[in-house]
Amino acid sequence: MKFCYLDESGTDERPFAVLVGVLVDSKRMHCTKDDWNNLMDTLSKLTDKTIKEFHTGEFYRGNGPWRGIDGNLRADIITAIIRWFNERKHKISFCGIDKNKYKEECERNEKLKQLKTYWCTMALHQILSIQKRNKNKKKNKGNTVFIFDKKVMEKTDFLELIENPPEWIHKYYQEKKDKDSYLDQLIDVPYFGDSEYVKMIQLADFFAYFIRMYVELKEGYYEEKYEEETGNIKKWVNMIMKSSIKRSKIYLHKGRDVCSELLYKIAPKSLTELG
């Protein structure tokens, strides 16, 4: 059994939104959670403040409790966190929305409107990607519990969407019309947790932040704030992609069905080329 912890970046006024899932095997998740707690203890000592929740944006910019911590040291810590995760052998999944493309597509595509909001669309995309990846695993090894950050405003809309999904979405991960296997890797309805206590949501936020920054840089919506920033972001995202599920489970470059075609059309081009 697996747990998928999810968080997003860019759901404010930014032009792109990214949602990342941290896919953790239940047998090895305790060690990962312990390591993350140990990191928070180390950072608390470094700042002489109690760090209960790791906010990536604050850390990266040196704001809040991180004010006064050298930028090079923060960059080294970012590199070390990604390297540590890669060594843990867990996986991430990712997807994103170009908000302008989404708005334009909504005006003419009734199917996209059925997915309610762009956040719900990303969240559904994550579940479909994991379903596609794990559906052929033997016994219950691919069965997954999905846990999102409780701060999400669209909780009710999303649960209704999962409870009664449109028929056409299932073509994303299967060809045969077999209703008994619809979203059969999803254990119960998705859950929503407090990221202060559900620590792996903080890790999903960490990855989502840098992937979203990468998209903004590649799409020309962001300018460097310091020398070598573009190089650092590309390096970190390339490292993160070493732990990603296969791109063919997220964005197909050919042979797309009606659902995967729609999700491909509204994604940032730079994101469809990752993985």
Domain that holds residue 11: 2-26+91-272
Tally of structural domains, the chain = 1
> Is 217 inside a domain boundary?
yes
> Is 233 inside a domain boundary?
yes
> Is 117 inside a domain boundary?
yes
Q: Do residues 56 and 78 lie in contact, with contact meaning Cβ atoms separated by under 8 Å?
A: no
Instruction: Tell me the C-alpha distance between 274 and 238, whole Å.
Output: 9
pLDDT in tens, 67-112: 989 999 999 999 999 999 999 999 999 999 999 999 999 999 999 9
What is the per-residue pLDDT for 141? 67
Q: Do residues 142 and 185 lie in contact, with contact meaning Cβ atoms separated by under 8 Å?
A: yes
For residue 240 the two structure tokens come to: 């993160």
> Is 161 inside a domain boundary?
yes
> Is 240 inside a domain boundary?
yes
Which segments in the chain show pLDDT lower than 70? 141
> Is 105 inside a domain boundary?
yes
pLDDT in tens, 164-181: 999 999 999 987 777 778
What is the per-residue pLDDT for 135? 86
> Is 262 inside a domain boundary?
yes
Instruction: Tell me the C-alpha distance between 130 and 23, whole Å.
Output: 9
> Is 85 inside a domain boundary?
no
Regarding pTM above 0.75, the answer is yes
Q: Do residues 142 and 133 lie in contact, with contact meaning Cβ atoms separated by under 8 Å?
A: yes
